Chain A
Amino acid sequence: MVGLSNLLSIGQAAFYGIGAYVTALALKTLGLSFFPSVILAIVITLLFAIIVGYISLKMEGDYFILATLGIQIIVFTILNNWIAVTMGPYGIPGIPSPKLFGYIEIKGIESFLMVSTAFSAITIFFFHRLIKSPFGRDLKGLRDDSISMIALGKNITKLKIQSFVISSSFAAISGFIYASYISYIDPTSYNLDESIFIISAVLIGGTGNIKGPIIGAIFVVALPELLRFVGLPDSIAANMRMIIYGLTLVIIMRYRSQGLAGVYKF
């Protein structure tokens, strides 16, 4: 959802991963309940995002993409090799379900559906307000013409960091939901491919509004179901799915670079 400010980050999965790992450690090792774990996950991801933001957002264009890519790989390497804390490639199994107010255990598909729907609704509401607000206007302005923004006295580095940090904290929440629902995490869910996958979803849907990424996500999630429906065997389906994502990206960039439902062209 960073699309609004035209910052193509190849490191989203790193934030998603940090959110998930902090959740896992908070729930399992520290034995915290629902709200403290969410808050811890967000705060730690936020801090990390601020540091990364300060470093990478001073760079332009390809350099920014490269920096986020570098950070992505560094995070993955640490998750994969810091065995003492993350258990490395074996992952962290048996993450306990979080408890709401210390009593209600959130467990099973229904309650997680509720939690994730609630979070999605909050996210959409939040972004809707943000895009319509003066802050959203500033981000659009930044996208259109950064020189003018400076001439109008806007601190563009701060703006970029703000939008980067906000989107990273949402990645942290996704990480929280995923880790506590699946109850097992391992580093391969947070590697470079995952980041590229997230970008694909965003770009296929389009950027600059809320509709775009949602449509992108629906496309990305619905496609495997569709392939299963067509009756492809599982062994082929996984590769086939990725081939279709790839082709879709190529075709969309060629004929409709603002994505299926987005506003901005790249």
Chain B
Amino acid sequence: MARNILEIKELYKSFSKGKYGKDDETYNLLSNLNISIPENTISALIGGNATGKTTLFNILSGFLKEDSGNIYFHNSKTTNLSEIPPYKREHLGIGRLFQDNHIFPTLTVLENLIIADKNVLKGNPFEAIFNVKRVKESEKVLTQKATETIAHLFGKSHELLSKLNDKASSLSFGQKRLIGLIRLFMSDYKLVLLDEPTAGINPALNDFISEIIKQMVLENGMTVFLIEHNMNFVRKTAHNCFFLDNGKINMQGTPSKVLGNEFVQKNYLGV
């Protein structure tokens, strides 16, 4: 049994019912949620619409604050994420792919990738003025890393390589999604949270994305936690599957076990 990289314990999150309701009327989106994600695996979170999957991811990334509960991240040491501001969670090694494409439209494709780097300036803008040589060198290294990553993942003749200096806004939806995925390879992440990696993408690309995700685990030592609605994709890609229903994990196990369960089939898959 592999070590767990992420442990979510007794997590609660509720929202007030909107402006017309009384203040004490709340809607419990997540109640007593417990999940453990084993290291170096691919885990899928499934569940109906508005069951709180993306909310959970936003809590993990720190964009939302949980009402109560603990989230432990085990890397070289154990951290309780509750007290860590969002941007520092990334420094711990947690990456994120958003459901809608959050890429930077006015930056070029290349810039969209190398912006992931945090080391070159170490937060000091004056470095750019007074230490031009070092900045130039690091930019060169980064550019090389970006091109190599693309070539490694997609082959040396991939169309993205000829579009490196185009504005990202000119890309298609699917290409933007690929940029989001490639960007995750630019940092040394331990855990990546993928919110519907195949959403809005040409089904022909699904297998391809599945391969990329497997590569994250096998070659780059990442752990993948993903939200997905495409069950074939889950079967093909994931090692573990968690079914979120009514604010807690209703069932977990291998994808074939969870997806084959009668309750899941009836309540979610609608079979």
A and B directly contacting (CB within 8 A): yes
Give A contacts to B, CB under 8 Å.
126, 129-130, 132-138, 140-141, 143-145, 147-156, 158, 162, 166, 263-264
Chain B contacts for A130, CB-based, 8 A: 125, 128-129
* Closest A residue to B117 using CB positions: A134
Is B106 among interface residues, defined by CB-CB distance under 8 A? yes
Give B contacts to A, CB under 8 Å.
61-63, 86-91, 95-96, 98, 102-107, 111, 114-118, 120-121, 123, 125, 127-129, 132, 135, 139, 183, 187
Known contacts A133-B135, A137-B111: A151-B102 contact under CB 8 Å: yes
* Closest A residue to B93 using CB positions: A153
* Closest B residue to A156 using CB positions: B87
Chain A contacts for B102, CB-based, 8 A: 145, 147-148, 151
Question: Judging by beta carbons under 8 Å apart, are A151 and B111 in contact?
Answer: no
One of A133, A140, A144, A149 near B128 (C-beta < 8 A): A133
Question: Judging by beta carbons under 8 Å apart, are A129 and B91 in contact?
Answer: no
Chain B contacts for A147, CB-based, 8 A: 63, 98, 102
With both chains docked as a complex, state the minimum distance between the C-beta of B86 and any C-beta of chain A, in angstroms: 5
With both chains docked as a complex, state the minimum distance between the C-beta of B37 and any C-beta of chain A, in angstroms: 18
Known contacts A141-B107, A145-B103: A152-B115 contact under CB 8 Å: yes
* Closest B residue to A154 using CB positions: B87
Closest 3 pairs between A and B when the two form their complex, measured CB to CB: A153-B90, A133-B128, A144-B104
Question: Judging by beta carbons under 8 Å apart, are A150 and B116 in contact?
Answer: no
Q: A134-B120, A134-B121, A150-B87 are in contact. List 19 more A-B contacts (CB 8 A).
A: A133-B135, A134-B117, A134-B128, A137-B107, A140-B106, A140-B107, A144-B105, A144-B106, A148-B102, A148-B103, A149-B87, A151-B90, A151-B95, A151-B98, A154-B118, A156-B87, A158-B123, A166-B125, A263-B106
* Closest A residue to B142 using CB positions: A134
One of B63, B98, B106 near A264 (C-beta < 8 A): B106
* 28 A–B contacts from the bound complex (CB under 8 Å): A130-B129, A133-B125, A133-B127, A133-B128, A134-B120, A135-B128, A137-B114, A137-B115, A138-B115, A140-B106, A141-B107, A144-B104, A145-B104, A147-B102, A148-B98, A150-B87, A150-B90, A151-B90, A151-B95, A151-B96, A152-B115, A152-B118, A152-B187, A153-B88, A158-B123, A162-B125, A263-B106, A264-B106
Question: Judging by beta carbons under 8 Å apart, are B107 and A134 in contact?
Answer: no
With both chains docked as a complex, state the minimum distance between the C-beta of B127 and any C-beta of chain A, in angstroms: 8
Question: Judging by beta carbons under 8 Å apart, are B123 and A140 in contact?
Answer: no
Chain A contacts for B89, CB-based, 8 A: 153
In the complex, A249→B164 CA distance in Å?
A: 36
In the complex, A96→B5 CA distance in Å?
A: 67
With both chains docked as a complex, state the minimum distance between the C-beta of B35 and any C-beta of chain A, in angstroms: 20
In the complex, A132→B63 CA distance in Å?
A: 30
With both chains docked as a complex, state the minimum distance between the C-beta of B182 and any C-beta of chain A, in angstroms: 13
With both chains docked as a complex, state the minimum distance between the C-beta of A19 and any C-beta of chain B, in angstroms: 20
Known contacts A145-B103, A151-B102: A129-B128 contact under CB 8 Å: yes
* Closest A residue to B130 using CB positions: A129
